[in-house]
Structure 1
């Protein structure tokens, strides 16, 4: 009885199999036609041709290439060949401080800061706007406005304190702490932050002094021109809430310093040439400032970048001027 039951069960399974409804003769014929030797097998060449016909030719990816390095249309000299490069002896007398006077033909001369602001890359604009939105979300519109005003005020106070220190005639490392003037609380942390940098600053030649490039038609105000560890530099003092240990963290600051140096080198008010730069980033909490030195080679590269930004600014201004002219009637 058990055997009969098993046979009956397998018989039922075969009846319920999904293959039972397949036309075995037609299926056999299909298999034979595919496997028959009379059907020629395709070669790799014919397969490629068929694939190209159906899907189009294969487009091979090109080897990635470096982005093209742009060069200024006119490579204006960074140094003024008529002036001698700085000697080892510092100039005598007080540091130069040429005030910015928008009269005397300077009314329409753009500043370095304005040119850089109006030639920001789309990426720079994106991150700047994102930072602004985040700050407004945290502080509110009024809070962000007050925060920006405080940063501006602290920067002015720091520059004022540095002017007092660097024009006193005494080296920072030789100062008498008991005779050191009391500076505003807002800048004490910054001064502590840059104290180790000030120890290496000497032979100050200019403080908060205007420089102008007559040929390229722009101007700026240099924070300081002095020797840092014996090398004459255009020095730019910056404040930051976040650490900036690398030069790349300072964004357009190196371009700004190169622009100032190039203007100074071509300004008749200064009888020397400056080939090097220094960006000092001070921190309010007093942590040691980062001092980024720019060698003459690095300065030349940023000078080229500045010339490109200046060309872009000039083209934008010319385009805007032509679009606002009244139509001839």
Structure 2
């Protein structure tokens, strides 16, 4: 019996660290499993794909991935390349859950929302009276500029610093002056077209209009939008909200595809296919419309908005139409910005009084 036991021990087999007695029957399946434990890593099913043939596709997919960088990492990268951004503050990740102190109505209930009989005659153009008392009534533009969020300030200063690093101080100054000049010329030509009262379709079919070289691309860009604009009621006209104490100058009030809108014309060198790409422009349009609706110089109400982004290279402009529901949401945002501006003015006034 001792001999038999020794014989059995000698026949003990080890597979991959697993001890199997000889009396245990090993099936083909068990041996196969043990073999897999000791075999090399299985080859990928994609190993036979022609990688050179599809390399461009792989690179394009990898490049299109959304960046994981945050304002913090962007700031660290920029500081390494361009130096520290002194004035910038990192944006807060917490959403703004505030509500306006006074939810002033967007529409003036005593006025008629639609007044067809007022669509005849030349467009209104009310001049600004700010020169009489410039400090008492702030403009929509000033209020928005002074109530930018920390995130907006961060990206604006980052863009400015990168442009100065590329163009230099003088080059950047010249660049901004050219943008301002082109924008002013673009609005001037648009004003002449819309004030004429002639349909754009009829005008463009009779003769090919000639424009200054600086804005030819912009005019080509908005040509398809102008075909849908009709019944112009106001051009470069001042609107003022006496109750909320602010003013602005609307680019245009007209019908776009049959809907009465406050229209804002913008120029851009980069595509802005989404409304979110226009930053504070929707808030600006809502502020203009709210002022117009409460201004006694205008005998109608406007509930909708339109932001047209024209491109210098002639690419068809993006026309972002804002419904009445969307305008109400941006109106609430405007009231919050107005509250913030009022608080800033109050704090500055108190600080000045203490110093005196």
Match of 1:243 in 2: 271
Q: Which moved more, 1:276-285 or 1:90-99?
A: 90-99
Unaligned runs of 5+ in 1: 1-65
CA offset digits 1:125-164 (Å, max 9, x no partner): 0000000001101110000000000000000000000001
Cα RMSD of the aligned pairs, angstroms, is: 1.6
Q: Please tell me whether residue 267 in structure 1 is matched to residue 295 in structure 2.
A: yes
Q: Distance in 1 between matches of 2:275 and 2:249?
A: 21
Q: Distance in 2 between matches of 1:129 and 1:162?
A: 31
Match of 1:283 in 2: 311
Contact 1:90 1:203 in 2 (8 A): no
Which residue of the other structure, out of 97, 101, 108, is the alignment partner of 2:129? 101
Q: Distance in 2 between matches of 1:223 and 1:120?
A: 22
Q: Distance in 2 between matches of 1:108 and 1:281?
A: 32
Q: Please tell me whether residue 151 in structure 1 is matched to residue 160 in structure 2.
A: no
Contact 1:213 1:263 in 2 (8 A): yes
Match of 1:170 in 2: 198
2:119 is paired with a residue of what secondary structure?
A: coil
**Cα distance change of structure 1 residues 80 and 129 upon mapping to structure 2, 3 Å threshold:** same
Contact 1:280 1:290 in 2 (8 A): yes
Q: Distance in 2 between matches of 1:184 and 1:308?
A: 41
Structure 1 residue ranges, 4+ long, deviating more than 6 angstroms after superposition = none
Q: Please tell me whether residue 220 in structure 1 is matched to residue 248 in structure 2.
A: yes
Unaligned runs of 5+ in 2: 1-93
Question: Computing the radius of gyration over CA atoms, which structure comes out larger, 1 or 2?
Answer: 1
Residue 105 of structure 1 and its aligned partner are, at CA, apart by 4.7
**Cα distance change of structure 1 residues 176 and 297 upon mapping to structure 2, 3 Å threshold:** closer
TM-score (norm 2): 0.71
Match of 1:77 in 2: 105
Q: Distance in 2 between matches of 1:327 and 1:139?
A: 41
Q: Please tell me whether residue 130 in structure 1 is matched to residue 165 in structure 2.
A: no
The count of residues paired between Structure 1 and Structure 2 equals 263
Q: Distance in 2 between matches of 1:167 and 1:255?
A: 26
Q: Distance in 1 between matches of 2:269 and 2:202?
A: 29
**Cα distance change of structure 1 residues 157 and 89 upon mapping to structure 2, 3 Å threshold:** same
